[in-house]
Structure 1
Amino acid sequence: MTTEPQRFTVLLVPEYIEGTDRVSAEEAAVRSAVVEATGETGATGYPRYAGEGIVADIDPRTRTVEAVLVDGAELDYGLNAAVAP
């Protein structure tokens, strides 16, 4: 039995929002998606999660997105991927 989370919500957030107290990541997200564990390990060595056009390697211990593809492409400059709290 695995202790890793089977589902996360990934938020795509503009870089300029990070570190500010004015707006939460959820409010600032330009896109969000619920991703579920695929049972695979990504190139980063972390579990792969996929759903709603987003494929992400996520470190389940730190909840850090280590790699991400959005609709099959790399993330646009100016955007960051984060796991919702």
Structure 2
Amino acid sequence: MSTTPPSHPDRYTVEIKPRAADADGHPNHGATLRTAVVEATGRTGESGYPRYEGEGVQAEIDPETRTVEAITLDGEELPYGWVAELSGGA
């Protein structure tokens, strides 16, 4: 008997990084400054994607592309140029 995976994962690990690109414009985001495990809230965010929360992070994540579509860190937007991406697993 096989089971079907849920349409949206229950949790992700989000990595906060300090830059969108290196000095040459390559997508090198730098060292991880902070990680947070976020769990599904069962709600959809303003972006239309599932909302996840945990450890001071609120994120809206596209489960198909594994893209962080919206995020706040400790109730604030990320500083200009910082990025959020998902790590391999929670």
State the TM-score, normalizing by the size of structure 1.
0.84
Q: How does 1:64-79 map to 2 (within 5 A)?
A: 64-79=67-82
RMSD: 1.8
- What is the one-letter code of the residue matched to 1:6? D
Q: If each structure's helix is expressed as a fraction of its own residues, which one has the higher value?
A: 1
- What is the one-letter code of the residue matched to 1:84? S
Query: 4+ residue runs of structure 1 moved beyond 3 angstroms?
Result: none
Q: How does 1:1-85 map to 2 (within 5 A)?
A: 2-15=6-19, 16=21, 19-20=27-28, 28-85=31-88
- What is the one-letter code of the residue matched to 2:76? A
Deviations 1:25-81 (A, max 9, x none): 6x8110000000000000000000000000000001100000001000111112101
Q: Which consecutive unaligned segments of at least 5 residues does structure 1 have?
A: none
SS in 1 for 2:46: coil
Deviations 1:5-44 (A, max 9, x none): 0100000012145634xxxx6x811000000000000000
Identical pairs, percent: 51
SS in 2 for 1:74: coil
Kindly tell me the number of residue pairs found equivalent between the two proteins.
Answer: 80
State the TM-score, normalizing by the size of structure 2.
0.80
Q: Which consecutive unaligned segments of at least 5 residues does structure 2 have?
A: none
